[in-house]
């Protein structure tokens, strides 16, 4: 089974880039399942119902998120009712939405789990302990288990990958918008990459207008960011996973730059 995962979609340019490139990727890679992180898809921070629908209509099957998903409150009821829209599972009980889902086609069942790290982020429940609890629940219902680990610190991401090696089929990191070059298959069969990058403007600073960000660093004054313009980077990974044993057979980075067609 082939899975395609695309990095954090940043604003309208990221959404337009997604819609422009995904038909070609579907034709070339023929993925069975497409996952994309959407926490920055609406105006560069947050998500709305209309934007989530736009991402699904473009061909994405499951939208994962992270800490920025709470920026626009209108998404709260959508998180509650949509099984293919996830927020990190280690938020406290009573938080809107769900942290994992089971996706099925005619042959296989795939569990997709969304978790968030704690280093340099909010002091939430420990993702290492939460995944232990979740795996005990979902392993019997899923042939394949895929985890979006949304975290700031590379050390936390790497440690988490080792922690679930052989218990999850694949772990891909999100949040930093910078793709890492460490895609590999760990010794017990888990496909891993520290961060898959972003789907967003190439010539900004992690998708935001670079001049505004530079001024923020120069002055240290509060600044309202805006999404950059120009060419769009499409970053992610694709992986072939054996549903018979849940092991990753191949994991490859995807990185291309496109000019938006108007």
8 Å CB contact between 197 and 227 = no
- H helices of the chain, in order, are 11-29, 49-58, 76-81, 127-138, 154-164, 210-219
Tell me if residue 177 is catalytic: no
Packing angle, helices 49-58 and 11-29, rounded to 10:
20
8 Å CB contact between 217 and 241 = no
Q: What residues does 111 pair with on adjacent strands? A: 102, 145
Ranges of beta strands (E only) in 144-187 are 144-150, 170-174, 184-185
Among 68, 150, 175, 177, the one annotated catalytic:
68
Closest CA to 198 of 168, 228, 157: 228
3-state DSSP of 194-248: CCCCEEEECCCECCECHHHHHHHHHHCCCCCCCECCCCEEEEEEEEEEECCCCEE
Report, as residue numbers or ranges, the catalytic residues.
68
């Amino acid at each position: 089974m082939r899975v395609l995962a695309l990095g954090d979609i940043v604003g309208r340019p990221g959404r337009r880039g997604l819609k422009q490139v995904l038909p070609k990727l579907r034709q070339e890679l023929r993925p069975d399942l497409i996952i994309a992180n959407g926490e920055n898809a609406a105006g560069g921070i947050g998500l709305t119902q209309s934007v989530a629908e736009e991402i699904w209509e473009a061909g994405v099957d499951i939208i994962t998120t992270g800490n920025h998903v709470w920026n626009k409150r209108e998404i709260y009821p959508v998180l509650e009712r949509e099984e293919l829209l996830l927020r990190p599972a280690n938020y406290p009980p009573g938080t809107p939405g769900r942290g994992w889902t089971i996706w099925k086609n005619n042959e296989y069942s795939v569990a997709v789990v969304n978790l968030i790290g704690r280093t340099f982020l909010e002091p939430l429940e420990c993702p290492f302990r939460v995944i232990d609890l979740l795996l005990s629940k979902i392993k019997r219902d899923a042939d394949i288990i895929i985890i979006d680990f949304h975290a700031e610190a590379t050390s936390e991401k790497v440690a988490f990958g080792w922690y679930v090696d052989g218990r999850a089929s694949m772990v891909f990191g999100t949040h930093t918008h910078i793709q890492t070059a460490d895609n590999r298959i760990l010794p017990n069969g888990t496909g891993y990459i520290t961060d898959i990058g972003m789907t967003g403007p190439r010539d900004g600073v992690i998708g935001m207008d670079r001049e505004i960000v530079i001024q923020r660093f120069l002055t240290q004054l509060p600044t309202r960011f805006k999404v950059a313009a120009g060419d769009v980077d499409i970053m992610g990974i694709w992986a072939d996973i054996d549903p018979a044993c849940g092991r990753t057979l191949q994991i490859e980075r995807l990185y291309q730059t496109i000019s938006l067609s108007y």
